Amino acid sequence: MNKEVLSLVLSRLLIALITLVIVSFAVFTATSLLPGDTASILLGQAATPEAVAGLRKAMHLDDPAFLRFIYWMGGLLSGDLGTSYANNMPVADLISGRFANSMKLAGITALFAVPIALTLGITAAMVRGSLYDRAVTVFTIGVISVPEFMIATLAVMFFAVYLQWLPAISFTNEVHTITDIVRVYAMPVITLTFGVSAQMIRMTRAAVVETLNTPYAEMALLKGASRSRIVLKHALPNALGPIVNAIALSLSYLLGGVIIVETIFNYPGIAKLMVDAVATRDLPLIQSCAMIFCVGYLILITTADIIAILANPRLR
C-alpha cells in the first residue's frame, strides 16, 4: 500500500470518528427533547408530586444537560451503557440478545440478497437492452414500489394462512435444527431480500453500464476480449467503488430500518426494542440503540469507502 492510499484511508477513519462524536451529541440532545417525563411515566397513576420529584432526583434527571451528557459519554467510553429506567436491568443485557437477533436476520438476508443482486445487476448490464435486462428492470422497479408491509402481509396470507407451510410469526427461541432456521427466517428474509436487493440490482447495473461505456472498455472490446472478460477484468474493478457503496447503503437499512418486518413477524430485534424504549421514555435504552445504529452505519459506510479507495486502480 502506498503513502497516498494510506493517508486517504486514515483521513477516512478520522472523519468517521468526528462524525461519531457529532452524532452522539445529536442523539443526546434529541432524546432530551422528547416530551413527557420518565419519572411520571414510570410511576403511572400512583404518581404524587413528591414521588415524581424524588425519582427525578434519584435518576439525575434534575442535573444540567451538560453534566448528564458528560456522565453518559463517560459511561459509553468505559463500556457502561447504563441501566434501563423501565425495568432496572442493565441496558447491555437488554440489548445483547436483541442485537444478536438483528445481526442474524441481517446476516442471513445479506447472504442471499448480495449474491442475488450482484448476479442480476451484472448480467443485466452485460446484455443491456435485451429482453432479460428489461425483465430485471421491470421486476426491480415493481418490487421497489411495493411497500414492505404489503409484501410481508401477502407472504403471510399465502404461505402461513392458506398453505400453512410456514409460521406467521418468527419464534427465534424455537431454533434447534436447520429446518427450524428455514421455517423461522424464510419469510422475514424473503421480505427483506425483496426490498434490499432491488436497490442493489439497480445501482450495480447502473455502475457496470457506466464503466462499459468508457474508452478503456471499448479498447478491450476492440482488442477482441470476450464479453465476460471485459466485464470481470476491466469494468468490474472500476465499478467496485459505487457497487460496494450501494451494498453498504442497502445493508445499513437492515440494522435499524426493519421495524415493519419485526412488527409483522413479531421478530425480537433491536429496532422494535428501540420503539418500545421511546414509548416508555427509557432514555438510556434509546440512546444506546441510537448509538448502535449510528456506529453500524458508520462502519458499513467507512468500510465501503476504504474498499473503494483500495480497489481504485489509479491509486495502485
Partner 1 sequence: MTDLRTTNWTRADDAVVECAIRRGATRRELLQMLLAGGVAMSAGGVIVGRATKAIAATPVTGGHLKAAGFTSSTADTLDPAKASNSTDYSRCSAVYSRLSNLDRSGAVEMELAESIESTDGKVWTVKLRKGVTFHDGKQLTSADVIYSLKRHLDPNVGSKVNAIAKQMTGFKALDDLTLEITLADANADLPTILALQHFMIVAEGTADFSKGNGTGPFVLENFEPGVRSLMRRNDHYWKSKGPFVDSFEFFAISDDSSRVNALLSGDIHVAAAINPRSERLVEGRPGFVLSKSSANSYTNLNMRLDATPGQNSDFVAGMKHLVNREQILRAALRGRGEIGNDQPIFPGNPYRNDDLKSKPYDPEKAKFYFNKAGVLGQSIPVIASEAANSAIDMAMIVQAAGAEIGMKLDVQRVPSDGYWDKYWLKAPIHFGNINYRPTPDILFSLLYASGAPWNESHYKSDKFDKMLIEARGSLDQEKRKAIYNEMQVMIADEAGTIIPAYLTGIDAITDKLKGMETNPLGGMMGYRMAEHVWFES
Q: Does 145 help bind partner 1 (rule: CB under 8 A)? A: no
- Near partner 1 by CB under 8 A: residue from 2, 3, 33, 35: 35
Q: Near partner 1 by CB under 8 A, which window of 112-120, 233-241, 261-269, 304-312? A: 261-269
Q: Cβ closer to partner 1: 10 or 157? A: 157
Q: How near is the Cβ of 169 to partner 1 at its closest, in Å?
A: 5
With cell 457529532, the residue in question is 22
Closest CA to 239 of 143, 313, 186: 313
Q: Does 214 help bind partner 1 (rule: CB under 8 A)? A: no
Q: Near partner 1 by CB under 8 A, which window of 11-19, 165-173, 195-203, 219-227? A: 165-173
Lookup: cell for 211: 464503466
Lookup: cell for 293: 445504529
> Could you give the CA distance from residue 245 to residue 200 in angstroms, rounded to a whole number?
9
Q: Cβ closer to partner 1: 29 or 266? A: 266
- Near partner 1 by CB under 8 A: residue from 131, 161, 178, 222: 161
- Near partner 1 by CB under 8 A: residue from 90, 97, 237, 257: 97
Q: How many residues sit in the footprint of partner 1 (CB under 8 A)? A: 46
Alpha helices in the chain (DSSP H): 3-32, 38-43, 49-58, 65-77, 91-126, 131-145, 148-155, 178-212, 215-222, 227-229, 236-256, 259-264, 270-279, 283-311
Q: Does 179 help bind partner 1 (rule: CB under 8 A)? A: no
Q: Cβ closer to partner 1: 98 or 202? A: 98
- Alpha carbon 203 to chain centroid distance? 17
DSSP bridge pairs for 90: 83
> Could you give the CA distance from residue 85 to residue 115 in angstroms, rounded to a whole number?
42
How many of the other CB atoms lie within 10 Å of CB of 169?
14
Q: How near is the Cβ of 49 to partner 1 at its closest, in Å?
A: 12
Closest CA to 159 of 151, 150, 168: 168
Q: How near is the Cβ of 249 to partner 1 at its closest, in Å?
A: 27
Please give the residue ranges that form the binding site for partner 1 (CB under 8 A). Answer: 35-37, 40-46, 48, 50-51, 54-55, 84, 86-87, 89, 94, 97, 153, 156-157, 160-161, 164, 167-169, 171, 173, 263-266, 268, 272-273, 276-280, 282, 285
